[in-house]
Amino acid sequence: MLAIRMQRNGRTHYPTYRIIVQEAQRHPLSGRVVAEVGNYNPATKALTLDKEAVEKYLKNGARPSSRVALILKKNKIKLPDWVKLAPKKSVKAKHADKLRKNQPKEAPASEAPVEEAPAEAPAEETPAEAPAAEA
């Protein structure tokens, strides 16, 4: 059985990929490639495909990898009915209640109403002045 998959090329931290047709049991780096049907550069999003060759291999039963299937679908290449695209992953926070955006909002200090202390009678003496008045 054949597989349509990506083979990594390029240098460190700057990958480029060949889109190849290969026996499914082989590793992409084994060197035993049936055909090269395109190239993909993720840095520039540049893609070249031989659409006729891809369609020929798909009709003959070659299975695209999940990533290649997405690339083929974006380029409007008709995939067979048996090809199933991987569902989109949804990211869910483990402790959503602890996130800052989920905390109750506090009013800023400039807008918060300032509570004033009730005014006291000025006639009362302080304890420091009390002994001086007795003498």
Name the band, by pLDDT with cuts 50, 70 and 90, for residue 15.
Answer: very high
Q: What is the pLDDT of residues 77-120, one digit of tens each?
A: 888 888 888 777 887 777 777 777 777 777 666 665 656 666 66
Map residue 22 onto helix, strand or coil. strand
Query: Domains of the chain: which residue ranges?
Result: 2-74
The pLDDT of residue 106 is 76
Q: How far apart are CA 92 and CA 5, in angstroms?
A: 30
| Stated pTM of the model | 0.63
Q: Does the pLDDT of residue 54 top 90, yes or no?
A: yes
Q: Does the pLDDT of residue 64 top 90, yes or no?
A: yes
**% of the chain with per-residue pLDDT over 90:** 44
Q: Does the pLDDT of residue 72 top 70, yes or no?
A: yes
The pLDDT of residue 128 is 64
Name the helix (H) or strand (E) containing 47. Answer: strand 46-49
Record: fold of 2-74? S16 Ribosomal Protein; Chain: A; (3.30.1320)
CB atoms within 10 A of CB 58: 21
49 burial via Cβ count (<10 Å: 0-12, 13-18, 19+): middle
**% of the chain with per-residue pLDDT over 70:** 79
Q: How far apart are CA 110 and CA 127, in angstroms?
A: 36
The pLDDT of residue 56 is 94
- Name which residue leads in pLDDT, 9 or 95: 9
The pLDDT of residue 7 is 92
